[in-house]
Amino acid sequence: MANFGNLSLTLAFTFAIYAVISLITGTKTGRRDLIKSGENAVYVYFALITSAVVGLLYLLVTSNFQIEYVASITNRDMPVYYKLAALWGGQAGSLLFWTWILATYAAIVTFRNRQRRTNLVPAAVGIMSMTTLFFLSLNVFAENPFSELAMSHAGLEEQLPFAPADGRGLNPLLQHPVMVIHPPILYLGYVGMVVPFAFAIAALITRELGNAWITLIRRWTLIAWGLLGFGIILGGKWAYMELGWGGYWAWDPVENASLMPWLTATAFLHSVIVQEKKNMLKVWNVTLIIATYLLVIFGTFLTRSGVVSSVHAFAQSSIGSFFVSYIAIAGGLCVWLVFSRLEYLKSENELDSVVSRESGFLFNNLVFLGACFAVLWGTVFPVISEAIQGEKISVGAPFFNKINIPVGLFLLFLTGVGPLLAWRKTSPRSLKKNFLWPMAVAMVAAAILFATGVSGFYPLVSFLLCVFVTATIFVEFFRGIRARMRAHGEMLHHAFLRLIGKNKRRYGGYIVHFAIVLIFIGFTGNAFNRETKGEVTEGDTISLGAYELRCEQIEEGETPNYTYIVATLSATKNGKPMGTLVPEKRFYHASEQGTSEVALRSNLAEDLYVVFAGVNEDNNRAVIQIFLNPLVAWVWIGTIVMIVGTVVAILPDGRDVRIQRRKRALEKLLRASEKI
C-alpha cells in the first residue's frame, strides 16, 4: 500500500505539471484541444490524489506501524474515528489532505464550467493546478506520508524494514469529537480561498477585468468564507471544551493565521458590491483577493514551519524554506501582474460623497485591513524580535485586545450604518429619518442596561451598538415586508419569506449581520467573567457567586487508551439543586500526555465551567477550578445563524436562475452553430 501511495503521488505530480502547461499554453494560444487535454489531466491528478488519501486512511485504520506517519500519529487502542481523524492530525497527512481538497476544488470548478467559452476558466484552473503542484512537491520531496520505518542490523550494511509493537498515538488534545469535524471544515474554507484567487489572476492574465470574473467567484468566495468562519468558531469550541483554561480565544498564532484571511475576505465581499454597482475599486478588489491567498499560504507556513509556538501548531519542520520561496515568488508575480494591468483596472466612476454607501463600504474595508495588520504584526513580532535581537519577545492577549476591541466595535457600528446610507449621496433629511429610530432604541436600551448595573465603557458601548445594528436590520426587513403586503396583499409570513426569496443576497447578508450581533453579545460577556480555585476532598464544598459545588466522590479508573481520575460534584444555585458535574483528568498511555475534560452547565445567561486541574500531592486533595462565563452560548447561536445567512446568500435568486438558463441556451446554440 505504501508503494501504491507513492506511485499515486508521483503520477499526480506529473499530471499536475502537464495540466499547468496545457491549460496556460492553451489559454494563451486559443487552442481548445490543449485546454481540453489539460482539463482531463486535472481529473486524473484528482483521482490519483484521492487514491493516495484512501491508501493512507487504510494504513491508519489497520495500524500498519511500518509506515512512519502511522506509527507517529496512532496507536492500536485508539477508536477508529480518531484513526481516521489522524489523516489531518500530523504534518505529512494534513499536507496530503490539504492537497486533496485543493485538487477537489480544481476538479469541481473544471466540471461545472466545462461548457463556458471563456479563457477565464482554463487560466484559473491552471493557476489552481500550480498551487496543487506546489503542495504535491511537499508530499513527494519533503513530507512523504508513506515513508517506511527502517533500522540497521548487526552485520548488515543496508537498513531493513521495521515496525514497532505500537504507535505513539494521536495528541490527546486532538482526541475530542470536535476535532473530527473542525479541521476538515476549516481546511475547506482555507483552501477554498484559492478559487477566487485563481480567477482574479486569470482575469489579470487574460485582461478580462470586467465583472465576469467577479460573477464567477461570488458563490465560491461565500462558500469558502462561510466555511472558514464556521471552522474558526469550531476551533474556539474545541479550545473551550478541551484546553481547560476557561476561554475560547487566546490570540494564539495559529488562531490568528486563520483569522487574517477571513478578515480580508470579509472586506472583499463588501467592496466587490461597489464594483458591481459602480465599476469602482477594481484595483482594491484584486489586491484584497491576492492578499487573502497569500495570507492563507503564510498561515499554512506559520502552522507547519515551527517558527511560532502554539498548541495548535505541528512539530518543527524543514518545509519552511519551501513556503518562504513560494510566497516570495507568488507575491512578486502577483504585484507585477497588478502593476502591468493598471490601465485595465481604472475605475469608471468616482466617489460622489463621503456620506454614501460607497464610502461606508470603503471605510469598512480600511478598518478590516487595519484589524488584519494589527493581528499580523502581533503574530510575527516575536519572530522579528528574535531575528533582530536574538530574543523572542512574546505578544500576549492584552496587546490584541487593546487594539481589536475598539476596532471591532467600530466595525459593528459600520455594520449598522451601511444599510442606512444611500448610493452616491445621502441627504441630511434622509440621514435624520433613517438614524432616528435605531439610535433612539439603542439609547433607551443603554440607559436601561446602565440602570440595571452594567458598567464599563466597552461593554456598555458594545451592547448599545448591538441594539443599534439589530434595530437597523429590523427596519430594513420591516420596510420590505410592509411594501410587499401593500403591493401584493400578502400575509406577514408570506411577505417575509418572499422578500428574502426575491433578493437572497441582500437579506442573507442582513441575516449574517444579525449573526455578528449575536456573536458580539457573546464576546461582550467576557468582560464579566469570574473564576475561583480550591482544593477539595469528599464532602468539601467550593463556591462562586450563586453556585455551590459539593464533592461527592473522587474515583480513579483505566481504559485501554488512558487512565483517568474523576470528581463527582453536586451543584446548587441559590440553594436549588442543579444535578451533578463530572470534571475529569486523563493520562494517555501511548503519548504519555495528560488532558483535562471539563464539566459544563450552560444556559443563555451564563456557563458554569468546572475543571479538574489535578491532585495536590502534598495532601492528596483534588484541585478544582470554577469559571462563571456569561453569555458564551450566544457565540455558538450566532454561528448557527451566520451559517443560515450564508446559505441564503449563496442560493440563487429567481431572476439569476432565469438569466443563467438563457445564457446556457445561448451557449448551446453557439456550439451547435459552430458544428454546422
Residue 308, all three cell numbers: 511560532
Confidence of residue 383 (pLDDT cuts 50, 70, 90): confident
Choose one of 137, 170, 203: the last residue of a domain.
Answer: 170
pLDDT exceeds 80 at position 305: no
Between strands 530-536 and 541-544, the pairing is unpaired
pLDDT at 58: 95
| Domain CATH number, residue 614 | 2.60.98
Q: What residues have CB less than 8 Å from 494, skipping those under 6 apart?
A: none
What's the mean pLDDT in 477-506? 87
Between strands 606-616 and 150-152, the pairing is unpaired
Lowest mean pLDDT among 241-245, 425-429, 459-463, 510-514: 425-429
| Domain CATH number, residue 73 | 1.20.120
Tell whether 121 is covered by a domain.
Answer: yes
Burial grade of 56 (CB within 10 A; 0-12, 13-18, 19 or more): buried
In the chain the first and final C-alpha atoms are separated, in Å, by 50
Distance between CA 654 and CA 179 in Å, rounded? 38
Distance between CA 41 and CA 12 in Å, rounded? 9
Tell whether 309 is covered by a domain.
Answer: no
Residue 604, all three cell numbers: 443563555
Give 475's Cβ-side CA count (13 Å radius). 20
What's the mean pLDDT in 381-394? 78
CB 48 within 8 A of CB 106: no
Choose one of 136, 170, 204: the last residue of a domain.
Answer: 170
Tell whether 413 is covered by a domain.
Answer: no
Number of domains in the chain: 2
What's the mean pLDDT in 364-377? 92
pLDDT at 233: 94
In percent, how much of the chain has pLDDT > 90? Answer: 54
Lowest mean pLDDT among 54-58, 288-292, 378-382, 522-526: 378-382
Domain boundaries, position 11 = 1-148+161-170
Report which listed range, 283-287, 349-353, 392-396, is most confident.
283-287
Tell whether 564 is covered by a domain.
Answer: yes
Q: Is the Cα dihedral 519, 520, 521, 522 positive or negative?
A: positive
pLDDT at 542: 93
pLDDT exceeds 70 at position 313: no
Lowest mean pLDDT among 34-38, 350-354, 449-453, 504-508: 350-354
What's the mean pLDDT in 499-525? 93
Q: ∠ CA 394-628-554 to the nearest 5 degrees? A: 100
Confidence of residue 188 (pLDDT cuts 50, 70, 90): very high
Confidence of residue 666 (pLDDT cuts 50, 70, 90): low
Tell whether 254 is covered by a domain.
Answer: no
Burial grade of 199 (CB within 10 A; 0-12, 13-18, 19 or more): buried
The runs of H, that is alpha helices, within 174-252 are 178-192, 194-206, 212-242
Give the DSSP H/E element, type plus range, for residue 569: strand 562-573
Query: Within 10 A of 344 (CB to CB), how many other CB atoms are there?
Result: 14
Residue 535's φ and ψ, nearest 5 degrees, are: -110, 135
Confidence of residue 310 (pLDDT cuts 50, 70, 90): low
Distance between CA 174 and CA 242 in Å, rounded? 9
Residue 608, all three cell numbers: 458554569
Q: What's this model's pTM, rounded to 2 decimal places? A: 0.92
Dihedral (Cα; 123, 128, 130, 135), 10-degree rounding? 180
- Express each pLDDT in 114-125 by its tens digit: 888 788 999 999
Q: Give the residue carrying C-alpha cell 464576546.
A: 523
Tell whether 142 is covered by a domain.
Answer: yes
Distance between CA 555 and CA 106 in Å, rounded? 53
Tell whether 493 is covered by a domain.
Answer: no
Q: What residues have CB less than 8 Å from 68, skipping those under 6 apart?
A: 147, 148, 149
Confidence of residue 135 (pLDDT cuts 50, 70, 90): very high
Tell whether 4 is covered by a domain.
Answer: yes
Distance between CA 67 and CA 72 in Å, rounded? 9
Residue 243, all three cell numbers: 484546553
